[in-house]
């Protein structure tokens, strides 16, 4: 660093000091109404004494989610934004390839009261929709729990069964293989068709692909984010139609291309 | 007609047969499952348990950068990911998630999405409508709503805890009561009040009520302005981070 650079650096730190002084003066003027912002103290994975969550390295846990206590998350699973998995009084296990979508809540019943031990078990390739509440229940492989559904204690969702959106499944209800239950309280609605069963497993794979993209994005450091911001600005484009009209072919930098499997036209072709 | 009947009968028996077959396999696999465990969990040592940045509000995916208009209020713990457009005067309240990773989400002028709502878009909708989630102007979406690839036309109210599934359409000046569920592809005609799970027609709205709808949206917009003024354009957390890094001896 040259002498000039050093001088500018020193002047810069003076001005910053002055800025901070102005900030403090402003804070003093605001007085008791001041709210000072603090570094986020939110813990994504949190242990309670000896119960610590075990999350596979290929799983995606959104930074805004909270995974607390005795929780096991398997390979390729995804816990989306704002989810809460609270295994404080009993254990929660989430299989592989499962997705638990935004703002869902998974909790467990109090352990060992009247001999009833109710851990929450979620199998492999399960899709749990947005805002679902799973409380001390068991969900088998490749089941589908729709948006905003509520599963109370001891509910049991068998393989390939489906809980429709907004359903409330009462205590100790068993939803048999390949059936759709909906309403409040949940009742049998109809059988699932073959296509729908295929769709459930497809949706789980789609989601695990999508989770990978989100995981990569959320894990980025500050420098990477800034670099991509500048790249995005540089390669900003009008819509495809506009480009074809004026005959421009634009290239997308490597950092900004998403993997193929999340784009709809690519993923639909892929085998289920 | 007869051919149709024959076809349906055929498919019915076929599905039943498949079903039985699957059922036997399922019991077998259920019995087998107790012995075979799922793949072992290998935790990674470099998984972050605490991110000092918290959850980022704006998550770009590839070239898709969520766009927020200058006078829209988006609460600090909202997550906007992918193709999300928040237009002028609209507000997104705490704990909401707008995830436009598969399709576009637009929140129109002066409309609002309240606490803990989730807005998502699917790849395709069962009806001919585009699969993007479109919330037009002066729409009030209540707390804990779940919206997925639906279209809400101007001046509607969606009650709390409502669920709108793929391809549902709410036409202008309609009201959905709290806790209503719209199954895929349901259309709510203009000027009607619907409620229930699944949603059913309750009554027509009176003219006075339809006039009230934009007023509610504007009232919430006014409230959001108060919140908007509370937040400064840049937070001062970086100072604390710098201090923290200095105290731990990490060079900046």
B66 pLDDT more than 70: yes
Q: Mutate one of A27, A51, A148, A209 to test the B interface: name it (highest B CB count within 10 A).
A: A148
| C-alpha–C-alpha distance, residues B58 and A135, integer Å | 31
Give the pLDDT confidence score for residue A199 in this predicted structure: 86
Select the residue of A63, A232, A258 nearest B55 (Cβ to Cβ): A63
Give the pLDDT confidence score for residue B198 in this predicted structure: 87
- Structure-model confidence comparison of residues B118 and A235, the more confident one: B118
Q: Terminal CA-to-CA distance of chain B, rounded, Å?
A: 78
Distance in Å, alpha carbon of A22 to nearest chain B alpha carbon = 13
Considering only CB atoms, which chain A residues are within 8 Å of B165? 147, 165
Q: Please give the residue range of the domain that contains residue B193.
A: 58-230
Which CATH number characterizes residue B119's domain?
2.160.10.10
Is A45-196 CATH 2.160.10.10? yes
Interchain CB distance below 8 Å, A218 and B56: yes
CB pairs under 8 A, 24+ apart, for A119-122?
A: A119/A90, A119/A91, A119/A92, A119/A93, A120/A87, A120/A90, A120/A91, A120/A92, A120/A93, A121/A92, A121/A93, A122/A92, A122/A93, A122/A94, A122/A95, A122/A98
Give the single-character DSSP code of B9.
H
Select the residue of A64, A177, A257 nearest B55 (Cβ to Cβ): A64
| C-alpha–C-alpha distance, residues A155 and A238, integer Å | 51
Give the pLDDT confidence score for residue B91 in this predicted structure: 94
- Residue A109 contacts residue A153 (beta carbons within 8 Å): yes
Select the residue of B181, B236, B239 nearest A165 (Cβ to Cβ): B181
Coil, strand, or helix at residue A39? coil
Reported ipTM: 0.83
- Structure-model confidence comparison of residues B102 and B92, the more confident one: B92
Residue B146 lies in a domain: yes
Burial class (CB in 10 A: 0-12, 13-18, 19+), A144: buried
Taking residue A258's Cβ as centre, other Cβ atoms within 10 Å add up to 18
Give the pLDDT confidence score for residue A264 in this predicted structure: 52
| C-alpha–C-alpha distance, residues B98 and B84, integer Å | 7
- DSSP-derived secondary structure for B158-185: E-TT-EE-TT-EE-TT-EE-TT-EEPTT
A268 pLDDT more than 70: no
Calculate mean pLDDT across residues B128-156: 90
Give the pLDDT confidence score for residue A90 in this predicted structure: 86
The residue of chain A with its CA nearest to that of B44 is A57
Question: How many structural domains is chain B composed of?
Answer: 1
Residue B245 lies in a domain: no
**pLDDT tens across A221-258, in order?**
888 888 888 888 877 766 666 777 777 666 677 667 77
The residue of chain B with its CA nearest to that of A68 is B49
Residue B184 lies in a domain: yes
Select the residue of B47, B118, B161 nearest A130 (Cβ to Cβ): B118
Give the pLDDT confidence score for residue A119 in this predicted structure: 85
Considering only CB atoms, which chain A residues are within 8 Å of B196? none
Considering only CB atoms, which chain B residues are within 8 Å of A214? 59, 61, 81, 101
**pLDDT tens across A134-164, in order?**
988 899 999 999 999 999 888 899 999 999 9
Q: B187 φ, ψ to 5°?
A: -115, 130
pTM: predicted TM-score of the whole model, two decimal places: 0.82
Q: How far is CA B71 from CA A20, A60, A250, B110, in A?
A: 27, 33, 32, 10
Q: Mutate one of B28, B46, B55, B96 to test the A interface: name it (highest A CB count within 10 A).
A: B55
B106 pLDDT more than 70: yes
């Amino acid at each position: 660093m040259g002498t000039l650079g050093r001088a500018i650096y020193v002047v810069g730190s003076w001005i910053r000091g002055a800025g901070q002084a102005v900030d403090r003066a402003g804070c003093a003027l605001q007085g008791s109404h001041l709210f000072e912002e603090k570094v986020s103290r939110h813990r994504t994975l949190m242990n309670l004494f000896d119960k610590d969550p075990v999350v596979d390295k290929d799983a995606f846990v959104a930074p805004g989610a909270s995974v607390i206590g005795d929780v096991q998350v398997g390979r390729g699973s995804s816990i989306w934004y704002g989810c809460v998995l609270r295994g404080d009084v009993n254990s929660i296990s989430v299989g592989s390839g499962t997705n638990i979508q935004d703002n869902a809540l998974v909790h467990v019943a109090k352990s060992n009261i009247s001999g009833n031990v109710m851990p929450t078990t979620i199998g492999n390739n399960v899709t749990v929709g947005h805002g679902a509440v799973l409380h001390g229940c068991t969900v088998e492989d490749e089941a589908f729990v729709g948006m905003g559904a509520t599963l109370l204690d001891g509910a049991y969702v068998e393989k390939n069964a489906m809980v429709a959106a907004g359903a409330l499944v009462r205590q100790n209800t068993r939803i048999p293989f390949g059936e759709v239950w909906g309403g409040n309280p949940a009742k049998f609605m109809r059988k699932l068709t073959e296509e729908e069963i295929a769709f459930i497993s497809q949706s789980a794979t789609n989601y695990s692909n999508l989770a990978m993209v989100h995981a990569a994005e959320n894990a980025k450091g500050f420098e990477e984010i800034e670099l991509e911001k500048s790249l995005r600005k540089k390669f900003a484009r009008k819509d495809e139609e506009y480009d074809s009209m004026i005959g421009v072919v634009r290239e997308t930098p490597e950092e900004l291309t998403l993997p193929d499997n999340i784009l709809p036209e690519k993923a639909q072709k892929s085998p289920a | 007609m007869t051919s149709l009947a024959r076809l349906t009968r055929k498919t019915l028996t076929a599905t039943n047969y498949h079903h039985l077959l699957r059922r036997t396999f399922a019991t077998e696999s259920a019995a087998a499952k107790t012995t075979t465990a799922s793949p072992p969990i290998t935790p990674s040592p470099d998984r972050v348990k605490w991110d000092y940045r918290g959850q980022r509000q704006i998550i770009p995916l590839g070239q898709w950068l969520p766009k927020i208009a200058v006078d829209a209020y988006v609460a600090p713990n909202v997550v906007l990911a992918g193709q999300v457009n928040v237009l002028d005067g609209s507000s997104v309240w705490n704990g909401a998630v707008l995830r436009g990773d598969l399709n576009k989400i637009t929140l129109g002028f002066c409309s609002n999405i309240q606490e803990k709502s989730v807005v998502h878009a699917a790849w395709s909708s069962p009806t001919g409508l585009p699969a993007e989630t479109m919330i037009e102007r002066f729409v009030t979406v209540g707390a804990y709503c779940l919206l997925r690839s639906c279209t809400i036309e101007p001046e509607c109210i969606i009650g709390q805890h409502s669920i709108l599934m793929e391809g549902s359409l709410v036409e202008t000046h309609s009201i959905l009561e709290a806790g209503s569920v719209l199954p895929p592809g349901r259309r709510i005609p203009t000027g009607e009040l619907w409620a229930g799970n699944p949603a059913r027609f309750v009554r027509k709205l009176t003219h006075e009520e339809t006039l009230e709808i934009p007023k509610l949206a504007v009232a919430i917009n006014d409230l959001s302005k108060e919140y908007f003024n509370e937040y400064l354009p840049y937070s001062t957390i970086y100072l604390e981070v710098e201090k923290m890094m200095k105290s731990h001896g990490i060079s900046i």
